[in-house]
Amino acid sequence: MFRILRCKPAVSHNRPCSRGGSSFSNMSKDRDENVSSTAPAREKRKRSISDSAGRTAAERKLAHADYTVGWICALKIEYVAAQIFLDENHQAPEHVHPHDDNNYALGRIGRHNIVIAVLPNGEYGISSATGVAKNMLSSFPNVRIGLMVGIGGGAPSSKHDVRLGDVVVSAPRDGTGGVFQYDFGKAIQDGTLRTTGFLNQPPTFLLTAVNGLETDYEIHGHQLEESINGVLEKLPRLRRKYARPLPTTDRLYRSSVIHPLHTEERCANSCGDISSNTVIRADRTQEDDNPAIHYGLIASANQVMKDALIRDKLIKEKDVLCFEMEAAGLMNQFPCLVIRGICDYSDSHKNEEWQGYAAMAAAAYTKDLLFRIPPNKVEEENRIIDVLKNVFDGVEKLLSVHYDQEHQNILRWLAPIDFAIQQSEYIKIRQRGTCHWFLASDEYLSWLKSDNQTLFCPGVPGAGKTIMSAAVIDDLLYGRYKDDASVGISYLYCDFRRHNEQKTNDLIANLLKQLIQKQRRIPDCVQILYDEYNEIQKRPSLTELLEALHSVSSLYSKVFILVDALDECQETDGCRKSFLSEILKLQRETNVNIFATSRFVQEIADTFDQSVHFEIRAKDEDVQAFLDSRMDRLPNFILTKPDLQNEIKTKISQLSDGM
């Protein structure tokens, strides 16, 4: 069975951002007074309950520069929860950056203007979060606070009684920013937690606000449950999905109990809730916060954590409180605070029933936090995009070096032979002024303009077929299509002395190699092959190489394949026949033009019987140009006699007979 490898060209956007000021002069004066930073925190939270879900009749429209708080969500339920807790909705932006595909909700919480963005539908993880953050900063360059708010998987332990519906807030530990990225594949393979990076620490005043809110909760308790119930009373249609589920649905299964594969049954039915399968925990009392708020490390990777044994090992190793997928994508891109409502226990017993409430709990906490932050503290912060400008530049240079090195490694692995060296040598040999008759011929010009055409150029030995091939390659690469990234050019010089290096797989791999050299990033289909085979020191099959060649060819509007000296392509095991068959098949399925030269070999000529044939011969003007360049090497008595020189050139041209 064939695997279908589809390639996507990697695209990088460097988006300039204009500087914008921050203004709160149009904010509601009454609201400012109500939520003065000197007012008691509990009073502010009470007002936040009554204000949430209450909307002004006419939504206000503010300038992009008025938005200083960026709030990113990964899922629709998180996006809904965030909007529910806005004190005021604002009109959607009329315009965003040309390359910004984000969807935005705008509004106000307290005295802060908020821009909320959600990841594209069906896309999760590191790369998607990175794209959303960059787009947000492009369209709203005045953002100074970053918040990543949503749901995550809990990491319960004897030390931390993490339960469904609780909230985990990223907090710096041991000099880290509170969120670290780990190698998921390595964790699954051998259970080790290989840290691959840390999230930039959020601004100090934001961490101070977190500490102040934690202290307030410690003294007075919080009102998150009341806040959630308050907004749901105003929006009853959301209760079924976003209200707190029954306590009996919060089951923590023992790590050894694994949810059966390929079943959609609820855990209560398929796994049971008997004491031998579950961890017995005491009910929370009125003296306990419920939901509880936890502060500490959040682990982020590119896949969902759903192995309880691995989870427990990583908890023991790093004292992790939560596992999630998006925050690592914001590393060094969008320094932010990460707030996660717990919807499952990072095991095989995934629990969608708690996702809505977990999203609500995280959003409610975030609103409480924003009420503690005075607007002037936000305005005093540098814009995130300014803070990161130097980081972006430095990272871009480092990534460029890294990707260039990796790019070269993959190219060498794919095909060690570099035909560019031969091309350079042949161009040096080519006499200036030669080959112009061919490059200006109707046959050649028609081949250039046509689609899916083959130009077959046979010739006798010594006719100059290889130099002509080099001239055509040079004309395409450094002449007509020098700056056209939409056109792919790939060429081969067959050589009977290198038969062992020029089997069908080798030739196809080299065509593929040259086509991906023009790509800024290695296409996915080639990267997959490299990742699969490089470490085990194996080569892809011919079928896999052909699939990749087809996929990469489709990235271009047109591809030129040039093959010199087909007669020197080895015939052993049907190599030449197989190779010709495959490139002609590629031509039928993609927009490929083929140029080929060969001595007069009937089998090769028959293969191209439907193609344009154009014999290559040494033209008199080429011979004359060559001889002119060598006349200075003749004895002096000839150099003083122009008539004798012309006679010599004429005689040699006649004797050459197209060679």
The DSSP output letter for 157 is: -
* Mean pLDDT for the stretch of residues 286-300: 90
Domain boundary among 382, 406, 430: 382
Q: Check whether residue 305 and residue 429 sit in a common domain.
A: no
Q: Is residue 456 part of a domain?
A: yes
CA distance 525 to 504: 20
Q: Check whether residue 330 and residue 267 sit in a common domain.
A: yes
Q: Check whether residue 439 and residue 364 sit in a common domain.
A: no
Q: What percent of the chain has pLDDT over 90?
A: 43
Tens of pLDDT, residues 349-360: 777 899 999 999
The CATH code of the domain that includes 326 is 3.40.50.1580
Specify the pTM. 0.54
User: What helix, strand, coil percent values describe the chain, rounded to 5?
Assistant: 45, 15, 40
Q: Is residue 637 part of a domain?
A: no
Q: Is residue 410 part of a domain?
A: no
Confidence tier at 22 by pLDDT (50, 70, 90): very low
Q: Of 381, 383, 405, 404, nearest to 392 (Cα)? A: 383
Q: Of 556, 559, 561, 565, nearest to 473 (Cα)? A: 561
Q: Give the C-alpha distances (Å, rounded to integers) separating 454 from 505, 551, 595.
A: 22, 21, 6
Across 409-423, 481-495, 608-622, least confident range: 608-622
Q: Check whether residue 300 and residue 425 sit in a common domain.
A: no
Residues 6+ apart with CB under 8 A from 150: 73, 74, 75, 78, 324, 326, 339, 340, 341, 359, 362
Q: Using the predicted structure, report yes or no on whether residue 318 has a pLDDT greater than 50.
A: yes
Tens of pLDDT, residues 408-445: 888 889 998 889 888 988 988 887 778 888 999 999 99
CA distance 176 to 198: 6
Q: Which two tokens stand for residue 182?
A: 């780990």
CA distance 152 to 326: 10
Q: Is residue 198 part of a domain?
A: yes
Q: Hey, is 562 helix, strand or coil?
A: strand
* Mean pLDDT for the stretch of residues 392-406: 54
Q: What is the pLDDT, as a whole number, of residue 110?
A: 94
Confidence tier at 647 by pLDDT (50, 70, 90): low
Domain boundary among 382, 399, 433: 382
CB-based contact 259:270 (threshold 8 Å): yes
The CATH code of the domain that includes 604 is 3.40.50.300
**DSSP H stretches of helix in 52-125:** 76-84
Q: Check whether residue 363 and residue 447 sit in a common domain.
A: no
CA distance 244 to 625: 89
Q: Check whether residue 541 and residue 600 sit in a common domain.
A: yes
Q: Check whether residue 368 and residue 433 sit in a common domain.
A: no
Higher pLDDT, 627 or 496: 496
Q: Which two tokens stand for residue 77?
A: 């339920």
Tens of pLDDT, residues 325-351: 877 666 556 778 899 999 988 887 777
Q: Is residue 6 part of a domain?
A: no
Confidence tier at 184 by pLDDT (50, 70, 90): low
Q: Check whether residue 256 and residue 189 sit in a common domain.
A: yes
Element (H, E) at 345: none
CB-based contact 525:544 (threshold 8 Å): no
How many domains are there within the chain?
2
Q: What is the pLDDT, as a whole number, of residue 282?
A: 87
Q: Is residue 562 part of a domain?
A: yes
Confidence tier at 281 by pLDDT (50, 70, 90): confident
Q: Check whether residue 516 and residue 372 sit in a common domain.
A: no
CB-based contact 659:460 (threshold 8 Å): yes
Q: Check whether residue 333 and residue 446 sit in a common domain.
A: no
Q: Is residue 645 part of a domain?
A: no
Q: Is residue 309 part of a domain?
A: yes
Q: Check whether residue 350 and residue 425 sit in a common domain.
A: no
Q: Check whether residue 180 and residue 122 sit in a common domain.
A: yes
Q: What is the domain range of residue 300? A: 29-382
Across 157-166, 274-283, 497-506, least confident range: 274-283
**Positive/negative CA dihedral, 565, 568, 571, 574:** negative
